[in-house]
Structure 1
Amino acid sequence: MDVGQRVRPMRLRRMGRMPLVSPRLWWRRLVFWVGAILVSCIAVTFAQAANWATEVFLHAIAGRAWLAFIIAPAGLAISFLLTQYVFPGAQGSGIPQTIAALHMHDQAMVGRVLSLRIAVGKILLTLLGLASGASIGREGPTVQVGASIMHALGNLLRLPRPELQRALVLAGGAAGIAGAFNTPLAGIVFAIEELSHSFEARTSGTVFTAVIIAGATTLGLVGNYTYFGQTSAEISNGPATLAVILCSVVGGLAGGIFSQSLLIAAKGLPGVAGRLIMRYPVVFAALCGLSLAVIGWLSGGQTYGTGYDQARAMVEEHSVLPPVYAALKLAATVVSYVSGIPGGIFAPSLSIGAAMGSVLAPLVPNAPVGAMILLGMTAYFSGVVQAPITATVIVMEMTANQSLTIPLMATAFLSFAMSRLICRRPLYGALARRFLEVQRRH
């Protein structure tokens, strides 16, 4: 064999390892892309089912407000029992569990956290919670469902390296956000800022592409809709300064109080109350349902469900809610979360923030109400999750308003600083660390 004959196979092997022509790399890309499409389809179906579940509850209590005092306690008690005995591990929002899975090295443990059984339970029990009047969102559960689907796909195809499996989980969680909100850019930012806090250079492009495909799939299935409607509200420099400071202080402190309350509840209440809750958790879940019914009655039924309709109506300035709505919705969200049922806090938090902005609007008379509502959403959401870039991008994309980018970003970072005065650790990161500790003990 001459030199030319020996060189040709070597060149072919080198070409086969090039990113553009390598069959192995194209196969991995295909896994990410197919998984992203699947996650997006499930996210859209989950969104429609969530709307249906909320409508079922509201239809059931229409003209019969007293019925909520039966449905809510019974529904939350049943959901808690199913969570404990049929779908253990499905409780919580789903984002802390996904973050924890990204930091696990034991693949068996990751498989328990991101199993398809838990994904199914997450969807069914979130729908049950919404059909029972709980103030929960579907976006957090969609993150864990997306991560579980991608993880199962990786196991099925036996992808070799741990960083590829981690990238699949990361892409699944971010694709879940992109599919749930129809916001691809927010999905990418969320993956970097909240889920991973870092990115491997070798897999970042693949993850980005998967998230974009998930967003494009959602766009193809449901059209170019904006989650909270559209607003063209703008604000001039003078009123903007006062509006940013006011919304940031109020929203940041309120978000910090909310997050700190959930962290305290996650550790368990001290004293007799804590021991009674541990001994009679089902009774406690039923009492949480009863509290939801009381809060719903006080609000005229406005605090039930995700808060999506209320926030959209405020953003598009179709309705004005009473000033007490923000406080009642916050209380309903805390009660729903501590009851132990599955459910997220994304949509309720954005609804609370919108209401806060609406309440603060009269204090800045030269600022449009629509602009104050967007600033309030950003401030409270950033205060809760302590992820200012995600808060800015997600509100900007969900309302199709780029004219307020600078005020929204300033509000997000200032409210983040205010939240840190009360809650020293980011909510999802702290809950993920606690979840990891519990899993290691078991």
Structure 2
Amino acid sequence: MQHTSEPIRTNTRGRRALRLRRYRYVGFSRRVWQRRAVFLLGAIFVGLAAVGFAKLSDKAQALYYAILNQWHWLPLVMTPLGFVALAYVTARWFPAAAGSGIPQVIAARASSNPAHRQSLLGWQTMIAKIVMTALALVVGASVGREGPTVQVGASVMFAVASFAGIGRHNGLVLAGSAAGIAAAFNAPIAGILFAIEELAKSFAGRINDIVIASVAIAGGVSWLILGNYAYFGEVSAQMIRAADWSAVPICAAIGGVMGGLFSRSLITITRRPPSFIAALRKEPAVFAGICGLIVAILSIATAGYASGNGYGETRAGLLLGEQLPFWYGPSKLIATMLSSASGIPGGLFSPSLAVGSGLGSMLTPVVTFVDPRALMLLMTVGYFAAVVQAPLTAVVIVMEMTSDRNMVVPLMATALLAAGISRLISRQPLYHALSHAYAPKPQHKEASPSRAS
């Protein structure tokens, strides 16, 4: 037995020594340090881009409200024409800048063709995304900048990696997307979870460090410029009595159904539209103009509530417990649906949170025994989790945006139930379903290097 075990111990020591030499080699490898420098520089740029995008979007939205207050009926002309112009420019020159940007990132990560990835994440698309999302807010669309910031973050990392000559982009693209979420919401943990739960749909251990580091750096840049703030302010909602917990299944059911219907409807309109909508979509500018006209009517009828990202209204409801108009949630849902389906650039994150808070506010006169802020928080997370079918991300985003740790368990229960109900209505997650539109075209399906993770 001694003669048999000695070679085994010798081989084990030899393998350990070999692994140690490899780790030492990798630690001092010029290529490894080049990749580290690339993601460090890229993460800083993502943070700067996210902050600049946020400031531009805020000014754009303020400009629309100033126009609406000064010329009340002007949106009836400005909004449809703006939708037409944005949809035409997007379809004609920047097709990868349409919509949220998250489906494009998913498609880019699934693609093994460099030219196809470049078309989805190139610098031209990134600039067009920023400019045209801001213009969409100027003309009164119900869009947000948080989803587009995901594509901007991925594009920044892709550009920096391409400039440095690094061919393995997948990990850096994922890290850039996570950093974009972290910087947009000042929610670093949500950025990491979003990368795992929504974009990757799995956890790859070898990209763990780069994702976390990119999130920390981009979030740090945002923190240095904007300060350490909670996106919606510090909310202090509580559920103390046992009866308060009855709000969890109520909000999960309503949020799950409404979010699932929104997701399924948007997928249907964009991918499998009924014949009359399909006929309209053959003329993208005409379809966008009709969507813009309806959004304009809703905006005028609601004194601007239906337009924009809904940040102010959501903050007033969650932070101050103010009751929103009963029509706010439904009108915001319709305006967001039409803005997203029209083909113009713009995201769903903030408008979806606004819809959720509006639906929660509708319940406050009925469910009077629950703190209105708690009710709106539960409905916000339930509806958002149902739309994106990413419950953990929804919980952490809402928790970090409100700095509220008292509601963690109710929020988790509501998000999981709502996402489950949504899956019964819409089998495929929204962003993954929409990503099929950005799959490689025939000219991109040529032989290409194998995909790297």
Pairwise CA distance, 1:434: 3.7
Pairwise CA distance, 1:109: 1.0
Which whole-Å CA distance do the structure 2 matches of 1:52 and 1:276 have between them?
33
Pairwise CA distance, 1:359: 1.5
**Equivalent of 2:263, from 252, 259, 265?**
259
**Aligned-residue RMSD, C-alpha:** 1.9
Pairwise CA distance, 1:268: 4.6
Instruction: Check conservation: 2:143, 2:348, Cα contact below 8 A.
Output: yes
Which whole-Å CA distance do the structure 1 matches of 2:83 and 2:43 have between them?
32
Which whole-Å CA distance do the structure 1 matches of 2:441 and 2:145 have between them?
24
Pairwise CA distance, 1:133: 0.1
Query: Once structures 1 and 2 are overlaid, which stretch shifts more, 147-156 or 406-415?
Result: 147-156
**Structure 1 counterpart of 2:206:** 202
Instruction: Check conservation: 1:32, 1:207, Cα contact below 8 A.
Output: no
Instruction: Check conservation: 1:232, 1:401, Cα contact below 8 A.
Output: yes
**Equivalent of 1:242, from 228, 242, 246?**
246
- TM value normalised by structure 1: 0.93
Instruction: Check conservation: 2:175, 2:211, Cα contact below 8 A.
Output: yes
Q: Deviations over 1:188-227 (max 9, x none)?
A: 0000000111233222112211111111111111001111
Which whole-Å CA distance do the structure 2 matches of 1:424 and 1:437 have between them?
23
Amino acid at match of 2:144: G
1:192 paired with 2:200, answer: no
Instruction: Check conservation: 1:239, 1:364, Cα contact below 8 A.
Output: no
Instruction: Check conservation: 2:172, 2:210, Cα contact below 8 A.
Output: no
**Structure 1 counterpart of 2:331:** 328
Q: Deviations over 1:411-433 (max 9, x none)?
A: 00000111112111111111113
1:147 paired with 2:150, answer: no
**Structure 2 counterpart of 1:349:** 352
Q: How many residues align?
A: 428
Amino acid at match of 1:95: I
**Equivalent of 2:89, from 66, 82, 85?**
82
Pairwise CA distance, 1:239: 2.9
Query: Once structures 1 and 2 are overlaid, which stretch shifts more, 430-439 or 97-106?
Result: 430-439
Pairwise CA distance, 1:358: 1.5
Instruction: Check conservation: 1:16, 1:23, Cα contact below 8 A.
Output: no
Which whole-Å CA distance do the structure 1 matches of 2:175 and 2:244 have between them?
36
Amino acid at match of 1:340: G
**Equivalent of 1:26, from 20, 24, 33?**
33
Which whole-Å CA distance do the structure 2 matches of 1:14 and 1:281 have between them?
56
Which whole-Å CA distance do the structure 1 matches of 2:20 and 2:384 have between them?
53
**Equivalent of 2:165, from 151, 155, 158?**
158
Amino acid at match of 2:140: G
Which whole-Å CA distance do the structure 1 matches of 2:72 and 2:294 have between them?
14
Query: Once structures 1 and 2 are overlaid, which stretch shifts more, 97-106 or 57-66?
Result: 57-66
The aligned runs of 1:220-239 (5 Å cut-off) are 220-239=224-243
Alpha-carbon distance change, 276 to 236 in structure 1, aligned in 2, over 3 angstroms: same
**Equivalent of 1:430, from 408, 428, 433?**
433
The aligned runs of 1:13-412 (5 Å cut-off) are 16-19=24-27, 21-160=28-167, 162=168, 165-278=169-282, 280-317=283-320, 319-412=322-415
Pairwise CA distance, 1:407: 0.3
Pairwise CA distance, 1:330: 0.2
Q: Deviations over 1:78-110 (max 9, x none)?
A: 111211223232112100110111111112211
Pairwise CA distance, 1:22: 4.2
Query: Once structures 1 and 2 are overlaid, which stretch shifts more, 102-111 or 339-348?
Result: 102-111
Which whole-Å CA distance do the structure 1 matches of 2:395 and 2:382 have between them?
9
**Structure 1 counterpart of 2:7:** none
Structure 2: gaps of 5 or more residues: 1-17, 446-453
Which whole-Å CA distance do the structure 2 matches of 1:301 and 1:139 have between them?
20
Which whole-Å CA distance do the structure 2 matches of 1:108 and 1:70 have between them?
39
Pairwise CA distance, 1:172: 0.6
Structure 1: gaps of 5 or more residues: 1-9
Partner SS for 2:365: helix
Instruction: Check conservation: 2:111, 2:440, Cα contact below 8 A.
Output: no
Amino acid at match of 1:225: Y
Which whole-Å CA distance do the structure 2 matches of 1:230 and 1:329 have between them?
24
Pairwise CA distance, 1:291: 0.5
